[in-house]
Structure 1
C-alpha cells in the first residue's frame, strides 16, 4: 500500500502541478488585463510582505516529520500522541503570533511604502494584508494535520484535495473579476477555500488516520531539542523569503507597483519551475527519515540522491531549454505589452536555481541527519549579501537588477559551497552524482542545435511557429534523451505503468 501511495503521490503531484500551471497560464492573462498592471503589482507586493510572516513556521513542519518518524519506527504510540499534542499547541501559538505581528505590520504599511505607493494603493494594500494574515494564521493551525498526512505517506488524499482547491479557486474568482471586483475579492475567495481544505484535512486525520493527541506532561526537554533542530531550518526559511520575496519588496520601495508587476511575472514562471522539482523529492521525505533512523548508510543515500537527481534533471533541463528557445514569444503573447523584461528576469532566476533543484533531496538528508546547521548559516550570510547586491542593482538596472543579485548568491551558495559540504561532511558522493548527471550531455546536443536553429534562424514570431517549434523540439528531445541519455531504471519508470495499463486493458478485452 505504501508503494502505491508513493507512486500515486508522485503522479498526483505532477497532475496537481500540471493542472495548477495550466489554470494559471490561462487565468493569469485574464487577471492581468482585468486588474491592470498597478493592481496586479500591488497584489503581489502585499503577498510578498505577508509572506515574511510565514517565517513564524520556524521549520516546525520538518521537525514534526523527523520526530514523528523516529517514534513511528519504534511503534511508540504514546510519544507519537505527545508529539501531536505538542505541535498542535505550537502551531496554534504561531497562528496567534502571526495575527499580532500582521496587525503591527498593517498599521505601519504607510511608513514602509510611502515613497512607492499612492494613498489609494496603501489603503487597498492594508485590506489585502489583513485578509492574507488571516489566511496564513488558518494555514498554521492546519499544519500539524497536513504534516501528519505526509508522515503517514497518505499522499493520494492530500493531493486530491489540493487539486480540487486549485480547480475551484479560479472558477470562483473569475466571475467576480468580470463583475468589476478586484484583488480584495480574490483574497476573500482564497481564504474561504483555505478554511474548507483545512477542515477536510482535519476530518481525514481524526477519522481515517485515527490521529490522537496528548497534552499532559509537556516534554520541555524534547521541546528544546525540537527548537534547536528547527532553528536552523528557520534560518533557511529566512533565506528563501529573501531570495524569492525581497526583490519585490525592494522594487516596491524604489520602482513602485509597475516594477513589481513585471518582476512578478518572471518570478511566477520561476515558481512553476521550482514546483516541477519539489513534486518528486517531497514524497521521499518520510523514506529518507526512515533510512537515516534505521540504517544511515551513505552509499544507499547517495544512490537515492542520484536517482532522484537524474530524474529531476531530465525534466528541469527540458523545461529550461524550452523556455530559452520559446519563452520570449510566450511571455509577449501571454502577459501582453509592458512585460517584455519578464523573460530575462525568469531566465536569470531559473538557470542558477537548477543546481539546488536537482539536489533538493539533499536538504532532507541533511535534516534527517541533523546536519542542516551549516547550510542555514551559509545561506543566511549569502542572503544578506543578496540584499546589499540587489538594492544598487535595482537602482541601476530596474526590474532586472534584483534578479541578477539573487542569481549570483544562488551560484555561490547552492552551486559551490553546498556541493563541497555534501561531499566532505554529509557523506554524499558528489563526484559520482555529477558524473551521472554529465552522462546526459551527449543526448542534449541535437535538441539544443534544433532549438538554436528555431530561435536564431527561423524566428518565433507567431503562435503557429511557436506551437510547431515547441512540438518538433519536444519530440526530438524525448527521442534523444530516451535513446542516448536515460538508463534502464529511468526507462522502466515510464514503461512499467504503461505495461500495467496494457495488461489491464488486455484482461478486460479477453
Structure 2
C-alpha cells in the first residue's frame, strides 16, 4: 500500500472515529443521567476526571517513543527500534505500578467523601477499578510508535470505533437491567483490555521483528526518552492550561452563569478542530523518517504540501462554521445564547491559524526541536491570561475570547514559522 493511500485511509477512519465518539456521547449522556440519576452520574463524572488525571503520568513519553521508533524505522534499524520499545516498556511498567499504588490509596480516601456505608463501598470499588484499568494501559504505550510509523492509523481507528460501539451497547444493556454504576466501571475495564490486545496484535503484524527482552532495555536510551519527553510534558501542561484558564477568568470576573455561553462557543470550535486534527495530524513519523535520512528536499516538499492542505481545510471548515454557526446555536441552545456565536467566531480565527501551521509543530517534533513549541506554548498561555484579565473588564466575554485569540494568532502566524524556517 502506498503512503498516500495509507494516509488517506487513516484520515477517513480517524475522522469517522471522532464522529462515532461524538454521536455515541451525544445519545448516551442523557440516557445515563436519566437511568443513574444526577447523583451517581456526577460520581461517575468525578471518577472519570480522576482517570484523566492519571494520564498525566505519561509525562510526554508516548511522543518520545513515537519519535525514536519512527527514526529507527526510517534508518531501517530494527534493533534500535526494539531497544526503544523495551526501554519504554520498563519505564511504563514502573509508572503502572505507581498508579496502582496511588489508586489503592485513593480508593480508601474516596470513602471519606460520602456518608452512607453502601455508597462508601461503591466509591471505593469505582476508584480502584478505573485506576487499575488506566494503569494496565500504560505498558502498551511502549508500542506507541509502531502503529504510527508503519502507517496503521486506519486499523487503530477501526479498533477504537468497534470498542466505542461495543462499550455503548454493553452499557445500554447493563444500565437498562439495573446493574448500576459499578457495571459501567467493569465494562470500561473489559473493553479497555480488549482494545489493548487488538492494539498489540496490530503492532505485532506491522512489526514482525518485535522482540521483548530485559536485555534490550537501555539506561542510555531512557535518558534520551526522558530528555525528549520533558518538553512534550510541558506542551501537554500548557495545552491543559490554555483549555481551562478562560473558564476561570469568566467565572471570576463575570459570573458562573457566563461560563455557559463561552463554553458553547468554545465547544463548537473544539469539535471542528478535533475533526480537522484527526484528518491530517499523522505526519510526525513521516517527517521523522525524512529527518533521520537527512532528506531535506522531501521533508520541505511534504511540509509545504501538508501546510497548504491544512490551510484549505481550515478555510472550508472555519468558513462553514461562521456561516451556519449562529443558526445552529439558536436551534441547538436557544436565542438566549447569541453571544456564544461571537465568542465562537473570535476563537475560531486563532484556532484555524494554529491548525494551518500545525505541520510545523510536527516537523519540530521530528527534528527533536519541540522545545521551541513548548516555549511558544508557555508564552502563549501567559499572554492569554494577561490579556484576558485586562480585556474582560472592558469587553466581557468578547474580551476573554480576544485575549485567547490575539497571542495565538501572533505566535502561530509569525513566531513559529520564523523559528521553524530557520531550522
Q: Shorter chain as normaliser: what TM range?
A: 0.7 to 0.9
Aligned to 1:420: 418
Paired residue secondary structure (2:282): helix
**Conserved? CA contact 2:13–2:157, under 8 Å:** yes
Aligned residue runs from structure 1 range 227-306, under 5 A: 227-247=226-246, 264-297=263-296, 299-306=297-304
**Conserved? CA contact 1:145–1:205, under 8 Å:** yes
- Please state if 1:349 is matched with 2:347: yes
Cα deviation, residue 32, structure 1: 7.7
**Runs of at least 5 residues in structure 2 that lack an aligned partner in the other structure:** none
Cα deviation, residue 98, structure 1: 4.3
The 3 A distance-change label for structure 1 pair 252 and 285 is same
**Runs of at least 5 residues in structure 1 that lack an aligned partner in the other structure:** 427-510
Paired residue secondary structure (1:295): coil
Aligned to 1:8: 9
Aligned to 1:371: 369
Match of 2:310 among 309, 312, 316: 312
Distance (whole Å) between structure 2 residues aligned to residue 406 and residue 127 of structure 1: 40
Aligned to 1:479: none
Cα deviation, residue 74, structure 1: 3.5
Distance (whole Å) between structure 1 residues aligned to residue 195 and residue 215 of structure 2: 29
**Conserved? CA contact 2:288–2:366, under 8 Å:** yes
Aligned to 1:147: 145
The 3 A distance-change label for structure 1 pair 126 and 393 is farther
Distance (whole Å) between structure 1 residues aligned to residue 110 and residue 342 of structure 2: 30
Match of 1:194 among 192, 195, 207: 192
Distance (whole Å) between structure 2 residues aligned to residue 183 and residue 248 of structure 1: 29
Distance (whole Å) between structure 2 residues aligned to residue 391 and residue 103 of structure 1: 40
The 3 A distance-change label for structure 1 pair 306 and 375 is same
Aligned residue runs from structure 1 range 402-441, under 5 A: 403-423=401-421, 425-426=422-423
Cα deviation, residue 294, structure 1: 0.8
Aligned to 1:55: 56
Cα deviation, residue 337, structure 1: 8.3
Distance (whole Å) between structure 2 residues aligned to residue 412 and residue 23 of structure 1: 37
Aligned to 1:69: 70
**Conserved? CA contact 1:327–1:343, under 8 Å:** yes
Cα deviation, residue 49, structure 1: 6.6
Cα deviation, residue 186, structure 1: 5.8
Cα deviation, residue 86, structure 1: 0.6
Aligned to 2:154: 156
Match of 2:359 among 358, 361, 368: 361
Distance (whole Å) between structure 1 residues aligned to residue 158 and residue 243 of structure 2: 27
Paired residue secondary structure (1:213): coil
Encode CA deviations 1:58-99: one digit per residue, 9 max, x unaligned.
222221122212322343333222211111112222334445
Please give the root-mean-square deviation of Cα atoms over the aligned residues, in Å: 4.5
Cα deviation, residue 46, structure 1: 6.7
Distance (whole Å) between structure 1 residues aligned to residue 163 and residue 361 of structure 2: 28
Normalised by the size of structure 2, how large is the TM-score?
0.78
Distance (whole Å) between structure 2 residues aligned to residue 36 and residue 392 of structure 1: 41
Distance (whole Å) between structure 2 residues aligned to residue 379 and residue 72 of structure 1: 30
Paired residue secondary structure (1:283): coil
The 3 A distance-change label for structure 1 pair 109 and 277 is farther
Cα deviation, residue 396, structure 1: 8.8
Q: How many residues align?
A: 418
**Conserved? CA contact 2:74–2:289, under 8 Å:** yes
The 3 A distance-change label for structure 1 pair 379 and 328 is same
**Conserved? CA contact 2:82–2:216, under 8 Å:** no
Aligned to 1:449: none
Distance (whole Å) between structure 2 residues aligned to residue 167 and residue 308 of structure 1: 32
The 3 A distance-change label for structure 1 pair 15 and 50 is closer
**Conserved? CA contact 1:139–1:198, under 8 Å:** yes
Aligned to 2:225: 226
Distance (whole Å) between structure 1 residues aligned to residue 39 and residue 389 of structure 2: 21
Normalised by the size of structure 1, how large is the TM-score?
0.67
**Conserved? CA contact 1:48–1:245, under 8 Å:** no
Distance (whole Å) between structure 1 residues aligned to residue 370 and residue 69 of structure 2: 18
Aligned residue runs from structure 1 range 131-142, under 5 A: 133-142=131-140
Greater mean deviation of Cα atoms: 136-145 or 370-379: 136-145
Aligned to 1:463: none
**Conserved? CA contact 1:50–1:102, under 8 Å:** no
Encode CA deviations 1:252-273: one digit per residue, 9 max, x unaligned.
8899986666655444333322
Distance (whole Å) between structure 2 residues aligned to residue 98 and residue 185 of structure 1: 22
Distance (whole Å) between structure 2 residues aligned to residue 127 and residue 51 of structure 1: 17
